[in-house]
Every structure is written in C-alpha cells, then in structure tokens.
Amino acid sequence: MKIAFFNRVITPETGVDLAGYGIGWHSVMKLDDLHLCGLLVDDGESKIFLASFDLLGLDEWFIRKIRKVCADKLQISEDSVLLSCTHTHNGPETRSMAGHPEQLNRSYLDWLETAILEEVSKRTDFQECDVAFYSLRIDENRNRRYVTADNLASFLPHRREMIPLSNEFADKELGILCFFKPEDKRPVYVIGNYAAHPLAGHGPGLGGLRISADFPGVFREYIRNETGAECMFISGAAGDLVPKEDELGSDAFRQMGTRLGKAALGAIIDAQRNPGRFVMKNARVGALTQSFTVPLRKKYCNQPGKLPEAYLNQDEVTLEIQCVAIGDVCFVGVPGELCCELGQEIKWHSPFRRTFIAYDATAYFSYICPGNFLVAGGYEASSQRFSARGGLSLLNTATNVLYELREKLFPDVNQDEPYPDYVQLPLVNLSPN
C-alpha cells in the first residue's frame, strides 16, 4: 500500500463570523491555526482520498463540487473521495443551514476550493507503508442529555448543575489507523476517530471569539511532536456528545487533546509490537455510496435558513451514505450531526472488523436522531429536519452499503457460510500473535 498526504493551514482572517453559536460571534483573535489534512491511499489497483477540514460543517453542494474536482484530478470515482469536518465551533461559517444563511462565507469557500485543488495536484510523493488498526475506550466525553423516568429530555448545557445526572449512552471508542514504514515500523501517518463536539475551549466572552481547532488540533500536534508522523482527526457520531469539560476554555481542550494523543500513542505501540493482530495483510481500498429518501418535518418545510435553498418547496429530502474502506476498517460518511446511539448501531451491524463514523461527509443536514428522541424532546430532536423514521432509514442504508462494500472487497469463496458467519471460532478467542 502506498500513501501520499498533505497538511495545509486554512485559518481565515481575524474578524470573520464564527460558526456554531448563532449570529453576532465575530472573531477577535487567533488562538491556533485551522488545518486541512489530506491522505491519498493506493493499494496498487484502487485509490481513495480522505480529507478532514477544521470547520463546523459543509453544505452538500460544496461537498459534491469538491468531490468532483478531486476525483477528476486524481482519476478516481467520486465515491472514493471522502470529505469530513472536525466540527470546531471556532471557525468560519461554511454552512447555509445555520438559521442565518446570509452569514455563509462564500469568499472563504472559493478560496478553500482553490486550496484543496492545489494540494491534490501536487500529490506525487508516495510512500510504501503497512497499515494497522486499533480500537480502545477512553473516557473523555459524555452525553449532554438527561432523560427522566417519564421520558422527557433536558439539554444539560442550559442547566449545568444537572451535568452529574447525565445518564444517556456515550460512545467512547477511540479508533486509530496507523501507516508504518515496513522496514523499521516507524509511524508515517495516523488517523484518529473520536466522538465529541470540539467546543471544550468555547468559553464565555473571549473564549467564544477566538479562532481555534479545539482539541482535534492538539491531538494532531501531540502525534506529530511525539512520533514525527503526520496526522488526521475525523470526528465521529458526536451529535449528542460533548467533552467532559465542555466550554471551559483553552486549558480544557489542551488537556483533552493531549489525553487522546497519549491514548493513540499507546495504541501505536501495541500495534507495532503485535503485527499479527493489528497489521492488515494485503489490505485493499474501496468505496460505495447509496442514497435514501425521507419526509421532511412539516415545521421545517419551506423555512429559509432552517433549510438550504436546494431543499425548499419539497416535502422530502434525498441524502447519501458513503462508505470508504481501508482493508477491514470502514469509514461511514453521514450527512450531518449523527447522534452517537445511531452511530453505535451502525458499528454493531457492520460486517467490517472495525467501523468508524465520519461526521458531515455527504451533507450538513443538522441533527440526526433515533426515533424515540422525537418522543422525549430536547435540543437535538428539536433540530432534526426530517421525520422520526429518518434515523432508521439512514441506519438501514448504511448497513446495506457496508455489506455490499465488504463483499466487493473480500469475496468469500471458501466459506461455508457468508461472511461474517465464522461458526468455528472458539468461545474464548484470544489471539496468541
């Protein structure tokens, strides 16, 4: 497997409107830089391209445009271009579905399109690598909903004294992909995947007015400084998850990013020392997308600002699931802020060895919740644009695409039962390698 990669600063000028907390948040200083991280992976037969932006989100029209220009330049399919955002709330406004579409920073998006095309055009410096995966649990997030016995949900950021009562599910998986030099096992590139809104540093007053990548930037910096490898962070299903120290300032996001970085370093060490368990043999890459159509909620139909122009004057919306695999690890790209419960269900139903969610990969269509959230209420449920069964439609579509892609990449020719039916595995199954 060969890889090529880049890392480009995409920090806007101070003074731009910041995304995430509504209108009137104008940046007054830069705390740290925003980055665009890109990775091209070539298995000798197929290629995929991954890109992660330190932005809150991107509209579907822009994602489709960038996927096309990158695919044309790299001579790959548009399915094979996966774009995602880290979801920092301290970057420029790059979504039109923010309630204030006039704040969409179109000049910045024009510049961003040029920047990514410049970087993709220069990718000729491929390195041969082995690729390993790892998964561990790290307690750095929590669910921001509290649900009472009679199934009524409260939004904890608006009642902080209730935070100790938080009782809902949180996906605490830190997923790692590490590309090593074959000769000395030195890390060359690391991808980290974790689910939490990057707003640890979005404190009151000045804290909310500083341009910052929040904890994903610290995570990447830690990996670079300690290993010499380049690094990408991909946000998972963080719709209802926040850092355990959310909105408490720069020290909070530095500590969180460092703790995630240390956990990743431990994962890299274990993968290096146990290649039989974690290094993927003859890893192939591939991608597949599939659409699903769901009815819009009547309260949001024909509401400019609540819906982008492309979705007005219609009573349903067609969105896309995108699956991109590197060996037996698959990234599932979703069209917005997927709540962690749905993200976990996708992982549970996946036929891949490990499955990681990629936030805002195919569109920014606000929050996407399990159906019962619309019974219990709360911020995420109130913000969902399509009807209650939409989350189930997304889940079913994602599962179908995962199975189709897995069968395409790894056809089972010697199995008594179709994968993933490994009927002969032992009941106590600990690899000796």
Residue 342: what pLDDT? 98
pLDDT for 264 beyond 70: yes
In the chain, % of residues over pLDDT 70 = 97
Q: Report yes or no: 174 and 213 within 8 Å, Cβ to Cβ.
A: no
Range from 90-104, 200-214, 403-417 that averages highest in pLDDT: 200-214
Residue 76: partners with Cβ closer than 8 Å, 6 or more residues away: 46, 47, 48, 49
* Nearest to 187, CA basis, from 225, 235, 151: 225
Confidence label for 23 from pLDDT (cuts 50, 70 and 90): confident
Whether 222 has a pLDDT exceeding 70, the answer reads yes
Task: Say if residues 291 and 158 touch (Cβ distance below 8 Å).
Answer: no
424's CB contacts (< 8 A; 6+ apart) are none
Give mean pLDDT, residues 141-158.
Answer: 96
pLDDT, position 394: 98
65 Cβ contact list (under 8 Å, min separation 6): 113
The pLDDT tens digits for 45-86 are 999 999 999 999 999 999 999 999 999 999 999 999 999 999
pLDDT band at 413 (very low <50, low <70, confident <90, very high): low
182-202: pLDDT as tens digits: 999 999 999 999 999 999 999
pLDDT digits (tens, 9 = 90+) for 96-144: 876 677 788 999 999 999 999 999 998 778 999 999 999 999 999 999 9
DSSP track, 278-325: HBPTT--EEEEEEEEEEEBPTTTTT-BTTB-GGGTT-SEEEEEEEEEE
294 has a pLDDT exceeding 70? yes
Domain ranges in the chain? 2-278, 285-409
Res. 22 pLDDT band, cuts 50 70 90? confident
Would the pLDDT of 423 be above 70? no
Specify the pLDDT at position 422. Answer: 64
- Return mean pLDDT, the chain: 94
pLDDT (mean) for 400-416: 85
Amino acid at 315: D
Please state, in angstroms and rounded to a whole number, the distance separating the CA atoms of residues 397 and 338: 14
Cα 81 from chain centre: 14
Average pLDDT score over residue span 164-178: 95
pLDDT value, residue 359: 96
Q: Residue 219's pLDDT band (boundaries 50, 70, 90)?
A: very high
What pLDDT was estimated at residue 246? 96
Give the mean model confidence (pLDDT) for residues 230-245.
Answer: 97
Q: Across 173-311, where does the E strand assignment appear?
A: 173-180, 187-194, 210-211, 230-235, 241-243, 285-295
In angstroms, the CA 192 to CA 87 distance is 14
Instruction: Name the one residue in this structure whose structure tokens are 């809150």.
Output: 56
